[in-house]
Amino acid sequence: MFHVKPPPAPKEWSLVRNPALWPENAAFRPEPGGQPPCCEHGSRLREARHMMDGPTSTTGGTGARISEPSPDAVLVRRTLEEIAPVADKVTSYFYALLFVRTPTLRELFPAAMDAQRDRLLKALLTVAERMDDADFLGEYLGHLGRGHRKYGVEAAHYPAVGEALIGALTRYAERSWDAETEVAWVRAYTAISQIMIDAAAEDEAKAPAWWQAEVVSHDLRTPDIAVLTLRTDAPYPFLAGQFTTLETPWWPRVWRHYSFASAPRPDGLLTLHVKAVPAGWVSHALVHRARPGDVLRLGPPAGSMTVDHATDTGLLCLGGGTGIAPIKALVEDVAEHGDRRQVDVFYGARSGHDLYDMDTLLRLQKTFPWLAVHAVTEAQGPLPEAVREAGPWTGRDAYLSGPLGMVRQGVDVLRGSGVPSERIRHDFLAELAAVGAGSAEVGGVHGADALDVAVEVVAQ
């Protein structure tokens, strides 16, 4: 059995509620006579988001309000541009400062830190790029705050992270760093951390930090793809199209993202599709080592790639590799709601042998006349190009899941074909928004770091 000691119950948040207990660096203390960073929930969140809001101006005589970067956003982005060439040194120095000053935080991280080092910069790039977008940051950072609960992160840890971040930036941003820039970074980090703290506190009142999940079946579909069925120790609320974070007993504190491959079932069982990827510790363990009776841990469900059942708009779904998992869940969801909307699924893989779930999709197609399934292999060309040729799709809501490169190309193809951006759904929002984001696969999830795994700052 897999026994994991739960993180300690959250302590009183005196560190952020009591100015006298804040770190010695005066930059992280509240202004004299001002409110401490943690006051009542509603006003905290409003104040935090207000810090992120940039000014607007009216241009062109049309009355349209066009957002301009806030002064803090300009300073933060300038710092990131300077440290970009030495990003490895900055992140290494950040973690060194964090662990030397607060050794107890080291146990929240995996033993091997190689993959962890670039995640701080990716997070900063994502936040900086959307720093003045309060709605995006509220959703994005709220998800991170809720997700950090499974690592044992507490509100009292955030000041230590902020101190280490400022220390690393001060050392390496030699040209752009000054008193005004430091104030901008402190304001930004205070706002960021407060949104995450509040989201975690709200989530704690209604959900556990994690669920235990027993493997009840393990079906090896190909030499490197397995379908796992799990039974959780408590009801696990999720929507079709969402994903979870998963930890195995063989790699403690190493979490990976996997999408659910079915809509919620009456028996409460969960299904995941996992591909063993090169150097994928967790994916290899799940495909080649996991067996019925093994117990995993799941974090909370997340993701916005869900169906709006208030409309009857047709769906266009692109699933590459194990990215077909959430697409199949969406098809089941449409069927269970009795919708008659047209759904076209494009399922891409390297070869026909790699279309491991094609039989299931064909059975669904035979059952539901509104469903059309299209198989696309590499011999036929890239999946997004096949979608372009089969268009137009301007009247559809589009859903994409698979490798980041495929999703990126698919988004470009759909936009170029006239599909509005707001009708294109995927869970690579942070990766596509961040400048210089990597090319990891996403969930089915498809066996590698991606989504918020790639951008979580405090622990992974």
The total of other beta-carbon atoms located within 10 Å of residue 350's CB is 12
pLDDT tens for 160-213 read 999 999 999 999 999 999 999 999 999 999 999 999 999 999 988 888 889 999
What are 415-419's contacts with CB under 8 Å, separation 24+?
Answer: 416/388, 417/388, 417/391, 417/392, 417/393, 418/392, 418/394, 419/316, 419/393, 419/394
pLDDT for 130: 81
- Identify the band that residue 431 occupies on the pLDDT scale cut at 50, 70 and 90: low
Question: How high is the pLDDT of residue 120?
Answer: 62
pLDDT tens per residue, range 239-286: 999 999 999 999 988 889 999 999 999 999 999 999 999 889 899 999
| pLDDT category of residue 151 using cuts at 50, 70 and 90 | confident
State which of 126-130, 148-152, 201-205 shows the largest mean pLDDT: 201-205
Share of the chain above pLDDT 90, in %: 56
Structure tokens at 408: 């990126």
**Predicted pLDDT of residue 112:** 65
What is the reported pLDDT for 55? 44
Which residue type is seen at 422? E
Instruction: List, for residues 103-118, the tens digit of each pLDDT value.
Output: 998 888 776 666 666 6
**CA separation, residue 37 to residues 40, 197, 346, 369 (Å):** 10, 11, 48, 56
Say whether pLDDT at 39 is over 50.
no
Rounded mean pLDDT of 14-43? 37
pLDDT confidence bin for 459, thresholds 50/70/90: very low
Q: Please state, rounded to an integer, the average pLDDT across all residues of the chain.
A: 80
- Residue found under tokens 């003045």: 132
Q: Which position has the higher pLDDT, 429 or 79?
A: 79
pTM over 0.75? The answer is no
**At residue 79, does pLDDT exceed 70?**
yes
Residue 320 forms beta bridges with which residues?
Answer: 348
pLDDT, residue 147, reads: 83
Segment (H or E) for 243: strand 243-247
Q: Please tell me the chain's helix, strand, coil percentages from 3-state DSSP, rounded to the nearest 5.
A: 45, 15, 40
The answer on pLDDT for 296 being more than 60 is yes
- Cβ neighbours, 10 Å, residue 219: 12
| 149: confidence class by pLDDT, cuts 50, 70, 90 | confident
Please give the single-letter amino acid code of residue 184.
Answer: A
- pLDDT for 47 equals 44
Whether the per-residue pLDDT at 436 is higher than 60: the answer is no
Supply the DSSP string of 300-356, one letter for each residue. --B------TTS---EEEEEEGGGHHHHHHHHHHHHHTT----EEEEEEESSGGG-T
Q: What is the pLDDT of residue 137?
A: 86
Residue 60, C-beta contacts closer than 8 angstroms, at least 6 positions apart: none
